[in-house]
Chain A
Amino acid sequence: MAWIVENRRTQVVEKRETPYLTADMKIDLANRYFPRYPTKRAVLLPALHAVQHQYGWIPTQAMEELGEFLGLQPAEVMDTATFYEEYWLKPKGKYLVAVCRSLACELCGSTELTKHLKKKLNIEPAETTADGKFTLVEYECLGSCGTAPAALCNDVLHENINPESFGHWLDTLPEDPHEYHDSSVTWDETASAH
């Protein structure tokens, strides 16, 4: 629903003293992405990803800071950010569990999977558990139709899911989501930035 626009006219931007876009982040973004594109605006998507990676969501103040950093109006940043479903403009749980609901997965049991997760986590899609650990959403096709049903848990794709065991496995996740990695990434990722 990229075109559903929320009325933000009366929105009060919550401010905090320390900026979200830290000096380190700015240096990293500038070094990594400025040389790649002929315009600064093109850095917006990677920059929004970076903010979300750091904080789990994108606060409005961070969008203002990004605007200043990239020479854009805050409204231009928001215009872009509101279009993309992956950007969270309000806080979400530490773990985002995104179940695919498209056709191949529906044929292979995604409805049961969602039902099971709703019951287990005691929330509806788009809601977050009371302890702030899980947010459940339904996504469209995850490119895993041959191994349906599929779901993403943060950055990691899970395929051929059995609802029961997936539910149990969720309990074993560490408290800090930054400690949870894709075990199939066996090479040194940090060295990959050229």
Chain B
Amino acid sequence: MPFTEPVLLKRINADPAKRKLHFYDDYVATGGYKGLEAALQMAPADIIKTTIDSGLRGRGGAGFSAGQKWSFIPKEKRGPHYLCVNADESEPGTFKDRYLIDYDPHQMLEGIAIACIATQCDIAYIFIRGEYHRQAKVLEHAIKEAYEHGIFGPQGIKGSATKLECYVHKGAGAYICGEETGLLEALEGKRGWPRNKPPFPAIAGAFAKPTVINNVETLAAVPHIIERGPIEGPRWFKSMGTPSSPGPKLYGMSGHVNSPGVYEDELGITLEHAIKLAGGMKGGAYKASICGGISMGVLGTNQLDIKLDFDDVRFRGGCLGLGTAGMIVMNEHTDMVLALRNCVRFYAHESCGQCTPCREGSAWMRKILDRIVDGGGRAQDLEMLLELEKTMGIMPGTTICGLADGTAWATRTFINKFYDEFAAKCPETPVPQFSLKRGSLNVLQPMGSNTR
């Protein structure tokens, strides 16, 4: 039985005019909190096993098995355990978590409650990015309802022995707080500087206690599995998607498509199919698509047949991974040099500055790209970009977190897949008058327009 009907989006109408926010009563009336009831009848170890069996992989970018992550939390409790929900969603091209919160917040709250039972967490912090003002208000209200209905609060979840508190913690405009340890630092009231690992959060996370960090969409998928029980749940989940990437997935389609928006389908649909879901190309033929947030890189003109799952995008697609499955589709009139400049400017702006290759590398790459865009490209610039790109990231082992890998993969895939377009702007004989004008161009001026 492949994907036949929406799972995570079952309460959210495809027609924008008919969409409405589901608070507690609407949620329960449409079958909500059944998964939680099932979870209360199960031992924590069984919930974890069911989740592992289902093959649910994290939807926040890394694609790590959710159940396995939970199993790393110590079974013996020596103090509080925490759950941090990663609702920091700031990866360009990604807007699925916001969609889930905007219309169906209780689905995620139910997932939170189940995850907390499984990992014996005492407090769940929902870390939401500061710009999501409305979404924070929606969550505050939904949480209040959940308290009133005995899900959170000192009386124990639905009267059981497991007590759970749930709070919203607002970020303040820093992409890096989406990185799980950057998030923990921001939660603790510090600069959102990612931590060196180990220790891993499962052992020493928030406030140095065992901590689970999961994405909104990951948690929203959990009730659907648990509700169906330890045998049927995994079987049902695996009936969708591919063997290594089972289940439904939200695809955020944006850019040059006729009906941009969030669409749900199983994992492993082709890029072509995803574009079809979003109403087809707008303004011209297909040229390229960001696959899963800009950090994953770009899929080229001849890659419409790539399957959008955790593996094919990597092995055949040549990208870093599926990421968040936020696709920014570009038509034939798009200037790839400008597009890459936009991406690299993002990284130069959002680098937290701890690691030299990331901080200096991204700033340097941005300056080179600015110069190419301004007409001063030189043949050696492309080599320089490709050399810089190889030096930064967790993969070459030079940085603390994966932001730098994102910079590297975006640059690498853009230049390699659209080499001619870049080369045309970086001639063997550079524009001679450029060096004279250089001082007047923004290349040497301070960066960052938002200096407060």
Contacts and interface: CB of A to CB of B under 8 A. Distances in A.
A143 B129 CA distance: 10
B351 A147 contact: no
Contacts, number: 204
Interface stretch (A8-16, A17-25, A133-141, A171-179): A133-141
B328 interface: yes
B133 A102 contact: no
Interface in A117-148: 124-126, 137-148
Nearest to B353: A3
A2 B338 CA distance: 24
Interface in B173-210: 173-176, 186-192, 207
Given A84-B172, A140-B90, A145-B326, A103 B294 contact: yes
Interface stretch (B25-33, B61-69, B107-115, B444-452): B444-452
A187 B25 CA distance: 14
Interface in B250-301: 252-256, 260-262, 290, 294
Interface residues of A, number: 63
B134 interface: yes
A27 interface: no
Contacts of A143: 89-90, 94-95, 97-98, 129, 131-132
A80 B253 contact: no
A2 B92 contact: no
B150 interface: no
A45 B186 CA distance: 8
28 contacts: A2-B352, A41-B189, A84-B130, A84-B171, A86-B131, A102-B93, A103-B294, A103-B339, A104-B93, A108-B254, A125-B450, A126-B449, A138-B449, A140-B92, A140-B175, A141-B91, A143-B97, A143-B98, A143-B129, A145-B94, A145-B95, A145-B326, A146-B261, A146-B262, A185-B137, A187-B23, A187-B141, A193-B140
Interface string B343-354: 100100111111
A82 B176 CA distance: 14
Interface in B210-258: 252-256
Contacts of A138: 449-450
A102 B346 contact: yes
Contacts of A104: 92-93, 254-255, 328
Contact of A1 (B187, B207, B448): B448
Contacts of A42: 187-189, 207
A141 to B, nearest CB: 4
Contacts of B170: 45-46, 49
A89 interface: yes
A45 B167 CA distance: 14
A98 B90 CA distance: 15
Given A42-B189, A107-B256, A139 B167 contact: no
A3 B92 contact: no
Contact of A89 (B130, B330, B352, B452): B452
A140 B350 contact: yes
Contact of B134 (A36, A87, A148, A155): A155
Contacts of B253: 146
Given A1-B349, A2-B353, A107-B328, A152 B189 contact: no
Given A42-B189, A45-B172, A85-B173, A141 B134 contact: no
A45 B140 contact: no
Interface string B292-318: 001000000000000000000000000
Given A4-B448, A86-B172, A143-B98, A192 B141 contact: yes
A193 B136 CA distance: 12
Interface in A151-180: 152, 155-157
Contacts of B330: 107
Contacts of A139: 131, 173, 450
A178 to B, nearest CB: 14
Interface in A24-47: 36-39, 41-46
Interface in A59-97: 79-80, 83-90, 92
B342 interface: yes
Contacts of A88: 452
Given A80-B190, A143-B89, A143-B98, 18 more contacts: A2-B350, A4-B448, A42-B207, A48-B172, A84-B130, A87-B173, A103-B92, A103-B346, A138-B450, A141-B94, A143-B90, A144-B98, A146-B95, A155-B134, A192-B141, A192-B143, A194-B143, A194-B144
Interface in B117-154: 123, 129-134, 137, 140-141, 143-144, 147
Give the one of A43, A102, A146, A182 with max B CB within 10 A. Answer: A146
